[in-house]
C-alpha cells in the first residue's frame, strides 16, 4: 500500500494535533535549552555591547514577536469593516 506525500503530511499534522500538550512542552524545553546555551556559551562575534548580555537574543526575539502580535491585532481592529461594507444598501444579485 503506497501512501502519497499529501496523506503522509496529513497524518503527521493529525498526530501533532492529538499530542498538542506534549509538543508544547517539548518546544518550551527546547527554547529553555537554547536560552541556557546562550547564557553559558559566549559568542565571539558581537558587534554591539548589548549582544554580549546573556540571553539578549532570546529576549529580543520574544519582545519582537510580542510586538508583531500586538501591532497586528491593532491593525486588524483599525482595518476591520462590517461584512456588508461594500453593499451600501444596494442589492448586487
Cell of 5: 506525500
**What is the predicted pLDDT for the residue at 39?**
82
**What is the predicted pLDDT for the residue at 34?**
86
- How does pLDDT run across 37-86, given as a tens digit for each residue? 888 887 777 788 888 888 888 889 889 999 999 999 999 999 988 888 78
Question: Does the pLDDT of residue 2 top 90, yes or no?
Answer: no
**What is the predicted pLDDT for the residue at 92?**
52
User: pTM value?
Assistant: 0.56
| Counts for the chain of helices (H) and strands (E), in that order | 3, 0
Give CA separation, 57 vs 11, 15, 22, 77, in Å. Answer: 35, 32, 26, 30
Amino acid at each position: 500500500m503506497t501512501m502519497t506525500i499529501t496523506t503522509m503530511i496529513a497524518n503527521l499534522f493529525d498526530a501533532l494535533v492529538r499530542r498538542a500538550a506534549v509538543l508544547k512542552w517539548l518546544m518550551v524545553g527546547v527554547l529553555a535549552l537554547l536560552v541556557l546555551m546562550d547564557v553559558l556559551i559566549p559568542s565571539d562575534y558581537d558587534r554591539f555591547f548589548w549582544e554580549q548580555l546573556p540571553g539578549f537574543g532570546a529576549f529580543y526575539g520574544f519582545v519582537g514577536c510580542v510586538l508583531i502580535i500586538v501591532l497586528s491585532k491593532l491593525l486588524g481592529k483599525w482595518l476591520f469593516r462590517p461584512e456588508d461594507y461594500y453593499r451600501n444598501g444596494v442589492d448586487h444579485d
